[in-house]
Amino acid sequence: MAQSRDVLVDLEDVTLAGPDGPILDRVRLTISAGERVGVVGINGAGKSALLALVAGELAPSAGSVRQRRHLRLAHLPQDPAVTPHSTVADAVGADVAAVALADRLGLAGVRSRRVASLSGGLAKRVALVRPLASEVDLLILDEPTNHLDLETVTWLESHLRATRAAVVLVSHDRTLLDAVTTRLVEVDRGALHEHRGGYAAYVTDLAERARSVVEAEQARRNAARHELAWLRRGAPARSRKPRARIAAATQLLAAGPPDPARAGALDLHGGPTPRLGRRVLSAAGASVEIAGRRVLSEITLEIGPGDHLGIVGANGAGKTTLLELLAGEREPTAGVLRRGATTRPVLFHQHSTELAGSRTVEEVVAGASGLPGSPADRDLLQRFWFTGALARSPVARLSGGERRRLQLLVALARRPNVLLLDEPTNDLDLETIRALEDYLDTWVGTLVVASHDRSFLRRTAERVYTIESAGTLREVPGDITAWVPAAPPSAPSGPSRGRALRDAERRMTSLERRTQRLGAQLAATLDPAEHARLGHELAAALAELAEAEDAWLSLAD
């Protein structure tokens, strides 16, 4: 194995041309033995293209990509190509290490099944086997956690921390990035920006970079104003040179900072949320059978207005089936499911199959009866970052993250008051995930989210339920960390106190969301009895929040 200082791959002044300009523009990147490098950036920025260049599967338009002689590498693309009719055994192969790893990933019972018949999570496990079982110097992974359940994500995190190979991965999983990576590379408008450390260091650097841009812009404008004032106090008419300097200073003052990668913030707010009644969704002994197999067994669950629920469980446990049941897309084969008279659920599916076909983005948003490109639609598209040629692009040409963002637009445009989200963070970039979390923080509707993203669940779910192997539903005491413990941080310091601080912060965040929702519901109701009930609940929540803040301050001192 190469020593840690050995260079495995070196990109020098690499340019990669795209249809609308360079995807990467004269970038440099060095990957050394034993490194753990995360790659982040907005959807469509060129993250997957960068990985393909590092893997030697894509040739640059200019510049050079040099790999160490006899370099052993394995590359898992975002959408692995697996022969649809091959079995799991064929895909895994006969190598002893691969077979052992497949068994460790829970694939022993499906070896004879065709890969095309598997759930997304099981298919992703199959795709992971060969790269992870190979003896390589460099492991390149593009969104490896998509569709995996939490237990497998936690196992993958431990595996990547322990491997001797260098790792380069694209991921939106902030917990994974913080636990595994020692350096983050951000792809932004053709350039690469490096950040030492994991996700937390990256966010700190972003804030510092934004502050520097503001300060540099202010300094530029001040310099231009001083120059202009000095020149105008003189006698510009006597010479052409002062007139030219005045024109240059005026132009400098009129110019602005570089355009951002995206125009404005992602605006998910599309008008008031339709009011919910006291009853939203209620299941009593609801069971679901599919092809003779009981997937859900005697589910009893009461979901009220403003509830935020998280659903976890192993791949194939029935999380998607539960969401389909709550959305009315599937009826129980036994038991009862009731929906309130004012309940308007929308299910954000795990896969964007409803966006298939040759339609353009504008046509998808307009729908069957609308006129593509209407002023209202253009405004909606702009709010979701679909501007210029992107709005007229066929859906087939969009990146995976852009399709998911379009899917989110279509779901929210239907004005639901109950959102059912199935693995919503798959393929979305970190900026979009943060915007979605901010939106859900103050959303007054009801939320049920099935996700493997620990950071997202901690931020959005107030109660967590797990679907167990028998198809039953059980509430998890505490938050998501009570179900699958997070991997320890790279450099722990005061672990007990740190955990207590994190728990206190999560409790404060949960209570803040609750008080905001209760306040909005209180302002919206005209029913005196409902007003009194909500007022009592709000007072109790505010008292709890005050206690939580006191507890946090005691720990922070």
pLDDT at 246 > cutoff 70: no
What confidence score (pLDDT) does residue 235 get? 47
User: If you average pLDDT over every residue of the chain, what do you get?
Assistant: 82
Helix (H, G, I), strand (E, B) or coil at 246: helix
Write down the pLDDT at residue 492: 34
Which pLDDT band, with edges at 50, 70 and 90, does 1 fall under?
Answer: very low
> What pLDDT score does 237 carry?
47
pLDDT over 60 (residue 3) = no
Torsion region of 52: left, alpha or beta (phi above 0 gives left; psi -120 to 50 gives alpha): alpha
State the pairing for strand pair 138-142/281-290.
unpaired
Structure confidence by residue, pLDDT tens digits, 476-523: 887 676 666 444 333 334 445 565 666 666 667 777 777 777 777 777
**Cβ neighbours of residue 357 closer than 8 Å, sequence gap 6 or more:** 395, 396
Q: What is the mean pLDDT of residues 82-97?
A: 84
Bigger pLDDT: 14 vs 395: 14
Query: Quick check: 273 pLDDT over 90?
Result: no
pLDDT at 2 over 50: no
**What's the whole-number mean pLDDT along residues 542-552?**
71
Which pLDDT score is estimated for 494? 46
Q: What is the pLDDT of residues 6-22, one digit of tens each?
A: 999 999 999 999 877 89
Out of 33-37, 329-333, 392-396, 507-511, least confident range? 507-511
pLDDT at 51 over 50: yes
- The predicted pLDDT at position 149 comes to 86
pLDDT at 421: 96
What is the distance between the alpha carbons of residues 129 and 94, in angstroms, rounded to a whole number? Answer: 12
Out of 114-123, 181-190, 496-505, 535-544, pick the least confident: 496-505
Rounded to an integer, the average pLDDT of 17-35 is 92
Q: Which two tokens stand for residue 334?
A: 């036994």
Region 32-36: what's the mean pLDDT?
94
Beta strands in 68-208, from DSSP E residues, in sequence order: 73-76, 138-142, 166-170, 183-188, 191-196
Report pLDDT digits (tens) over 414-460: 889 999 999 999 888 888 888 898 888 888 899 999 999 988 998 89
From the list 187, 163, 167, 175, the residue with the least C-alpha distance to 27 is: 187
| Average pLDDT over every residue of 330-351 | 93
**pLDDT surpassing 90 at residue 263:** no
Start-to-end CA span in the chain (Å) = 47
Q: What is the pLDDT of residues 319-333, one digit of tens each?
A: 999 999 999 999 999
Is the pLDDT confidence value at 238 over 80? no
Is pLDDT larger for residue 280 or for residue 371?
A: 280
